[in-house]
Amino acid sequence: LIDTVSYLQSLSEFKHEIQSLSAEIESLKNPQTLSPTPRLDELREENAKLKYRLNILKRSLQEDDTDCSKSMMNINQRLQEVFGEAIRASCPELDNPPLAVTPNQQAKFGDYQCNSAMAMAQMLKAKGIKVNPREIAEKIIQNLSDNELIEKTEIAGPGFINIHLKRTFVSKLLSNLLINGVQPPPLASRKKVVVDFSSPNIAKEMHVGHLRSTIIGDSMCRLFEFLGYDVLRLNHVGDWGTQFGMLIAHLQDKFPDYLTISPPIRDLQAFYKESKKRFDEEEDFKKRAYQCVVKLQSKEPDFIKGWNLICDVSRREFQKVYNCLDIQIIERGESYYQDKMTEVVKEFEEKGLVEIDEGRKIVFVPGQPIPLTIVKSDGGYTYDTSDLAALRQRIFDEKADIIIYVTDSGQGTHFQVVFAAAQLIGWYNPQVTRVEHAGFGVVLGEDKKKFKTRSGDTVRLMDLLDEGLKRSMDKLKDKERDKVLTPEELTKAQSSVAFGCIKYADLSHNRINDYVFSFDKMLDDRGNTAAYLLYAFTRIRSIARLANIAEATLRKAAETTEVILDHEKEWKLGKCILRFPEILQKILDDLLLHTLCDYLYELATTFTEFYDSCYCVEKDRQTGEVVKVNMWRMLLCEATAAIMAKGFDILGITPVQRM
Residues 287 and 348 both lie in one domain: no
Cα angle 437, 439, 444 (rounded to 5 degrees) comes to 170
Residues 257 and 139 both lie in one domain: no
Q: Kindly report the CATH number assigned to the domain that includes residue 382.
A: 3.40.50.620
Residues 339 and 295 both lie in one domain: no
Q: Kindly report the CATH number assigned to the domain that includes residue 600.
A: 1.10.730.10
Residues 357 and 488 both lie in one domain: no
d(CA 443, CA 448): 9
Domain annotation covers residue 317: no
Residues 356 and 233 both lie in one domain: yes
Residues 234 and 262 both lie in one domain: no
Residues 525 and 501 both lie in one domain: yes
Domain annotation covers residue 635: yes
CA distances from 304 to 249, 284, 299, 492 (A): 12, 22, 6, 42
- Residue 438: name the closest of 590, 231, 596 by CA: 590
Domain annotation covers residue 374: yes
The confidence score (pLDDT) of residue 61 equals: 47
Domain annotation covers residue 327: no
Residue positions counted in the chain = 659
Residues 552 and 635 both lie in one domain: yes
Residues 228 and 251 both lie in one domain: no
The confidence score (pLDDT) of residue 445 equals: 86
Please give the tally of structural domains in the chain: 5
Which of 383, 417, 444 is at the close of a domain?
A: 444
Domain annotation covers residue 46: no
CA 491 to chain CA centroid, nearest Å: 29
Instruction: Tell me the average confidence (pLDDT) per consecutive run of 10 residues in the chain, 659 residues long.
Output: 50 59 56 52 63 53 51 94 94 91 90 95 91 94 94 94 96 96 88 97 87 96 97 96 92 91 81 93 94 91 94 92 96 94 96 95 95 92 95 98 97 97 98 97 87 73 93 93 92 95 95 91 91 94 89 93 96 97 96 98 97 90 84 96 98 88
Domain annotation covers residue 251: yes
The confidence score (pLDDT) of residue 455 equals: 66
pTM of the model: 0.86
Q: Kindly report the CATH number assigned to the domain that includes residue 82.
A: 3.30.1360.70
Collapsed DSSP state (helix, strand, coil) of residue 153 = strand
DSSP assignment letter at 185: P
Residues 150 and 206 both lie in one domain: no
Element (H, E) at 627: strand 626-629
- Domain encompassing residue 24: 2-34
d(CA 350, CA 425): 10
Strand-strand pairing, 617-619 and 626-629: antiparallel
Residues 290 and 342 both lie in one domain: no
Residues 26 and 120 both lie in one domain: no
